[in-house]
């Protein structure tokens, strides 16, 4: 039984985001996330997962970026498993399926927290993006492996 994974790089650039104790948060980050993410069917007996990896750039000094508690949140109708985080920058979900007659699109939300200490007080805000996952129609074919003579 193989465990296959579809990686999704969540690239967030915070160069336009700042925090001032007198005015609060300003600016919005730029995102680079593929949408839709095409997930292939899994072979019988195999499992398929999707893994989101947060890559934060230009994080303001003294701040950290990480997935929010519900960093990946699917809307109604999602047929895969619940998202689970292995650390603050990686979230995975089971998405094992096979034999769909047509592609299935699932909307979801990515939420990333940006937080840090300012004058001894912890401040945090959450930024979000709403891309899609598309489970591909069809049936997975068994790989043919030629053995050496």
pLDDT tens-digit series, residues 42-71: 777 777 889 999 999 999 999 999 999 999
What is the pTM assigned to this prediction? Answer: 0.84
pLDDT > 70? residue 141: no
User: Which of 25, 81, 87, 78 lies closest to 54 in space, CA to CA?
Assistant: 87
Domain count, the chain: 1
> Model confidence at 78, in pLDDT bands (50, 70, 90)?
confident
**26: β partners:** 18
Does some domain include residue 143?
Answer: no
Res. 113 pLDDT band, cuts 50 70 90? very high
Residue at 121 is within a domain = yes
Residues 6+ apart with CB under 8 A from 22: none
What range does the domain containing 75 cover? 3-135
- With respect to residue 21, please indicate whether it lies within any of the assigned structural domains: yes
**CATH code of the domain covering residue 79:** 2.60.40
How confident is the prediction for the chain on average, in pLDDT?
84
Please give the share of the chain, as a percent, with pLDDT higher than 70. Answer: 86
Element containing residue 65 per DSSP (H, E): strand 63-74
How would residue 15 be classed by pLDDT, with cut points 50, 70 and 90? very high
Dihedral Cα 138, 139, 140, 142, nearest 10 deg:
-140
């Amino acid at each position: 039984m193989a465990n296959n994974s579809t990686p999704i790089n969540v690239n967030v650039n915070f160069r336009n985001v700042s925090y001032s104790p007198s005015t609060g948060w300003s600016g919005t980050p730029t995102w680079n996330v593929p949408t839709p993410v095409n997930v292939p069917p899994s072979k019988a007996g195999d499992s398929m997962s999707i893994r989101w990896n947060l890559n934060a750039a230009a994080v303001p000094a003294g701040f950290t970026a990480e997935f929010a508690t519900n960093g990946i949140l699917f809307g109604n109708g999602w047929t895969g498993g619940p998202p689970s985080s292995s650390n603050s920058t990686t979230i995975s979900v089971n998405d094992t399926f096979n034999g769909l007659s047509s592609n299935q699109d699932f909307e979801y939300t990515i939420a990333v927290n940006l937080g840090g200490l300012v004058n001894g007080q912890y401040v945090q805000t959450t930024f979000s993006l709403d891309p899609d996952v598309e489970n591909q129609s069809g049936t997975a074919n068994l790989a043919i492996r030629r053995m050496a003579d």
